[in-house]
Amino acid sequence: MTWAVIEDVSPPAEPYDLVELYDTVHRLLLERTGGAFDGRLVHLAWPTADGLRVVEVWDSREQYDRYGREVVGPLVDEVLAGRPHPPEQGTPFEVRGLVVPAGGVVVPAGVTAR
């Protein structure tokens, strides 16, 4: 089943620019992976009054977890260079339907993406 999460990222206790952190990590991810990672369908992020909101849509929870362990987690550690990670609060959910015409992604309601 197609799986997604909405993550609200709060500013860290140790002050640094959360949007700058995101932009740096995002740029490095694109440089190192070309934006492709098996199972990722959609990534959106935007600043909010309380920090940053990220929406990820994946073929499965397992692929999302592996991406966090193998790619984004180590990269965030590298960029933060020992500073604490910003606090995150995630709301996971199963996707009923998804259409991304420009990306060639169409997932009918209740169907696994690939």
Q: Where are the beta strands (DSSP E) in the chain?
A: 3-9, 40-48, 51-58, 88-94, 98-100, 105-107
Residue 21: inside a domain: yes
Q: Predicted confidence band at 64 (pLDDT cuts at 50, 70, 90)? A: very high
| pTM of the entire predicted model | 0.83
Assigned domain for 113 exists: no
Q: Give the pLDDT confidence score for residue 107 in this predicted structure.
A: 58
The CATH number of whichever domain residue 13 belongs to comes to 3.30.70.100
| Predicted confidence (pLDDT) at residue 14 exceeds the cutoff of 70 | yes
Which letter does DSSP use for residue 15 in this model?
Answer: -
Predicted confidence at residue 114, as pLDDT, reads 53
Give the residue numbers spanning the domain of 20. Answer: 3-107
Residues 39-57 have pLDDT tens digits of 999 999 999 998 999 999 9
- What's the distance, Cα to Cα, between the start and end of the chain in Å? 10
Residue 56, CA distances (Å) to 11, 15, 37, 96 in order: 20, 26, 12, 14
How far from 12 is each of 42, 51, 58, 69, 85, CA to CA, in Å? 26, 9, 27, 21, 7
How many other CB atoms sit within 10 Å of the CB of residue 2? Answer: 25
Query: What are 65-109's pLDDT values in tens digits?
Result: 999 999 999 999 999 998 888 888 999 999 988 888 877 666 555
* pLDDT band for position 13 (cuts 50, 70, 90): confident
In a domain, 62, yes or no: yes
Model pLDDT, residue 59:
93
In a domain, 83, yes or no: yes
Indicate the SS3 state at residue 101.
helix
Report the C-alpha gap between 67 and 59 in whole angstroms: 12
Q: Is residue 73 part of a domain?
A: yes
Residue 100 lies in a domain: yes
